[in-house]
Amino acid sequence: MWSRCIWILALGLSLALTGWGVIGLYTHRPSGSGSQPPPFTNHHVGVSIADLQELAELTILKVDLADVQETTLTGNTGTARATLLIAGDARIGTDLAKAKIIKCDEATRTLVLQLPLPVVQSVRLDHARTRLTSIRRTGLWRLMPSEETRTDLVNAAFAEAQRQLEKAAGRLELREKAQAKAEAILRDHLKVAHWDLGVDWR
């Protein structure tokens, strides 16, 4: 039964991704024979590595992230404060290579997959869209601005911006959106084979 379930899963994903299964028709005529035997058909329906990579890419949730951040550098003779308009993006997804079939009911045509919970796969600070809007100084730093101080402040601000984006990307609501997207895409793919899908997130 499990082999049939795996075949159904492969059929649904392969047909959805490629549009049709790979079906070969070969006719063999024995040498010297005056009659032609019935042709035989080879059927191969499966998911290639490229197909799985494409499906994994489809299930990834891509989100734009934005924030306003203020970073302060404090010294003995003054302070410097930088304000950043942060822009970036994150990719959140689940590893489909770890999917497991935990239930297969041919009577109700229902397949239940166990999938690992989505995780943040990458976070990128978009330097082209991130803007340093102001630098304000107090104390002696205002009277004697230092380029070294400015460099330290800006570097600290951008490093903190990256950390804030990573923190924002890990929010529960974004992981839940990634789960919903993965479930919807997988269900749509299995509908091709007229099966329903359930997902057990672990």
Residue 169: half-sphere exposure toward Cβ, Cα within 13 Å: 26
DSSP assigned state of 106: T
pLDDT of residue 29: 37
Residue 113 near residue 163, CB atoms below 8 Å: no
Nearest by Cα to 162 from 86, 51, 48, 101: 86
More confident residue, 152 or 15: 152
Threshold 0.75, pTM exceeds: no
| Range of lowest pLDDT (33-37, 94-98, 171-175, 182-186) | 33-37
Q: Tens of pLDDT along 151-167?
A: 999 999 999 999 999 99
User: Residue 176 belongs to what H/E stretch?
Assistant: helix 172-191
